[in-house]
Amino acid sequence: MAERIKKLEKWLTDQVGLPPFSLKPASADASFRRYFRVTQGNKSYIAMDAPPDKEDCRPFIAIARQLKSAGLNVPSVHAENLEQGFLLLDDLGSSLYLDILNPDNADQLYGDAIASLVQLQSKVPAKVLPPYNRALLMQEMELFREWLLQKQLGLSLSESEHSLLSQGFELLADNALAQPQVAVHRDYHSRNLMQSRPNPGILDFQDAVNGPATYDLVSLLRDCYIQWPAEQVEGWAMTYFRQAVKSGVLLSEHEEKFLQWFNLMGVQRHLKAAGIFARLDQRDGKPGYIKDIPRTLSYIETVAARYSGLNHLAQLISGRVLPVFR
């Protein structure tokens, strides 16, 4: 850790040529990336430290340019050193959505986030991004089986239970692939959105793909880190739908399928997220995300109970998984 910071300071001084500055931790995320605020008097930047043996900065740089070209508020890349895994970026501030959201400002903040999402989907060419195909969708859901059920909880499923779980995964993948395919941020939620001008500032977009239209929307509105009343979430979802139709992302005739797409897409995402939270604890020694698993599972339980092909999943979560966390 200390050695990486020394290398970062040397790069900023010797190669970037910054005048004297202070360097303080800004944030870390669930990956191996860390961020530092670089301050020079009244000016500040963000330095990304992404160890090259663990992270690849090239997708971040390429997608930042795509999003910037679409008029979205993302950090510009001022300097890069791919060999060492360092980037110097705009500082979009320190007000994460997660830290400031409340019932009084939620409509405004989510309204801004929805407008930016529609802009992303309508302006960023999805075909230049990797496909969010069946193999990737299934691989993500398997994280739930491997890391949460087996490694975190030590649950033993019968052959028929494994088969039912796999059938549920296939249903969810079918739902994702049936939707219009657009540019997908893939982590569009309150920890990656900043209150900024223009609002929101958008972070952590390096894993963007060409995928289902409702994926980012459900990430935003059924957030693993903050929960809102179901009626409010549905209202925001329909606000998105109207804007998406107006911009050409969706068609008006999609309305009858839209909420089902949204609901089932959320189950796919939350299976993935619950598995990742368990993996962060079990493999990476980051237990802080365990507290977010019950909220994430409760979304799945609520939706899965309403769809016959997912009844087994709902029963598994309510009967054998959630009780462990309560």
Average pLDDT, rounded, for the chain: 95
What does the pLDDT read at residue 30?
60
Instruction: Indicate the pLDDT class of residue 27, thresholds 50, 70 and 90.
Output: confident
Return the higher-pLDDT residue of 247 and 22. Answer: 247
What does the pLDDT read at residue 40?
86
- DSSP label of 202: E
Q: Is the peptide bond before 229 cis (omega within 30 degrees of 0)?
A: no
What does the pLDDT read at residue 126?
95
- DSSP label of 11: I
> Residue 256 pLDDT more than 70?
yes
What does the pLDDT read at residue 220?
98
Q: Residues 24-50: what's their mean pLDDT?
A: 86
The tens digit of pLDDT for each residue in 185-213 reads 999 999 999 999 999 999 999 999 999 99
Structure tokens at 192: 């990656």
Q: Which ranges of 156-248 would DSSP assign to H, the alpha helix?
A: 159-177, 215-221, 230-247
Alpha-carbon distances, residue 222 vs 28, 185, 200, 215, 235 (angstroms): 22, 15, 18, 10, 13
**Residue pair 131/257 in contact by the 8 Å Cβ criterion:** no
- DSSP label of 317: I
The tens digit of pLDDT for each residue in 210-245 reads 999 999 999 999 999 999 999 999 999 999 999 999
CATH 3.90.1200.10 residue spans of the chain = 97-325
What does the pLDDT read at residue 28?
62
**Residue pair 240/246 in contact by the 8 Å Cβ criterion:** no
Q: Residues 21-39: what's their mean pLDDT?
A: 83
Q: Which residues pair with 212 in a beta bridge?
A: 181
Q: Which residues pair with 38 in a beta bridge?
A: 23, 45
**Residue pair 38/45 in contact by the 8 Å Cβ criterion:** yes
CATH class of 97-325: alpha beta
**Residue pair 48/33 in contact by the 8 Å Cβ criterion:** yes
**Residue pair 224/270 in contact by the 8 Å Cβ criterion:** yes
Q: Residues 275-300: what's their mean pLDDT?
A: 96
CATH of domain 2-90: 3.30.200.20
What does the pLDDT read at residue 263?
98
CATH 3.30.200.20 residue spans of the chain = 2-90
Does the predicted model carry a pTM greater than 0.75?
Answer: yes
